[in-house]
Amino acid sequence: MKKPAAETRQHILDVTRALMTQKGYTAVGLAEVVAAAGVPKGSFYYYFKSKGEFGQALLDEYFADYLRTVDGLLAADGSGAERLLGYFKYWADTQGTDLPDDKCLVVKLGPEMCDLSEDMRIVLQRGTDAIIERISRCVRLGQDDGSITSAVPAEALAQSLYELWLGASLLAKLNKATTPFDTAFATTQRLVG
């Protein structure tokens, strides 16, 4: 029995996300995508006009999933500071060197995709802006409830924290160690007061 079109499209995205998380965008060719997904090459082009359009869809899907997770973490019980630290603990726990299939696609594909396509760069920017906005709202909540004592404006602190953790992710990848996350977590604690 043939799968519905939406299921096949989603299957291609799911299978390729794991491949690209491990190898990168340019290292995964169309032949590998269709082989891994078990679909004919024509099926790929039925769902995606090009590899670039596919890359955009992959990033849109990633951000939709990730933002649902972030929303859940930042809506947890506790003060603004507790919620924020819980989010960054989740980040450290899910981006370790021993979890190759669940890595942050921003860290893995961002630099590569930004240079390849303006459309993919825009999707990355829109997604990271949405993450920073959520962090900013949580910082503001913590400043309002007194659990975050930093006088730095919420937007600026959120931007700095995201940059800190993005850098820690890159260093963890380079060093094949989680110590950059330990450093980032300690710095985050100091920054939020």
pLDDT digits (tens, 9 = 90+) for 102-116: 566 677 677 777 787
**How does pLDDT run across 142-162, given as a tens digit for each residue?**
999 999 999 999 999 999 999
- CA angle centred on 43, ends 37 and 48, rounded to 5°: 95
Residues 14 and 38: their CA atoms lie apart, in Å, by 12
Question: What gap in Å lies between CA 57 and CA 156, rounded to an integer?
Answer: 30
In the chain, what percentage of residues exceed pLDDT 70? 91
Burial class (CB in 10 A: 0-12, 13-18, 19+), 49: exposed
Residues 131 and 70 sit within 8 Å (Cβ to Cβ)? yes
Local confidence band at 19 (pLDDT 50, 70, 90 cut-offs): confident
* Residue with the two structure tokens 């370790």: 96
Q: Could you give the CA distance from residue 124 to residue 130 in angstroms, rounded to a whole number?
A: 10
Quote the pTM value.
0.88
Report the pLDDT value the prediction gives residue 3, as an integer from 0 to 100. 65
Hey, what domains does the chain have and what are their CATH numbers? Answer: 51-192 (1.10.357.10)
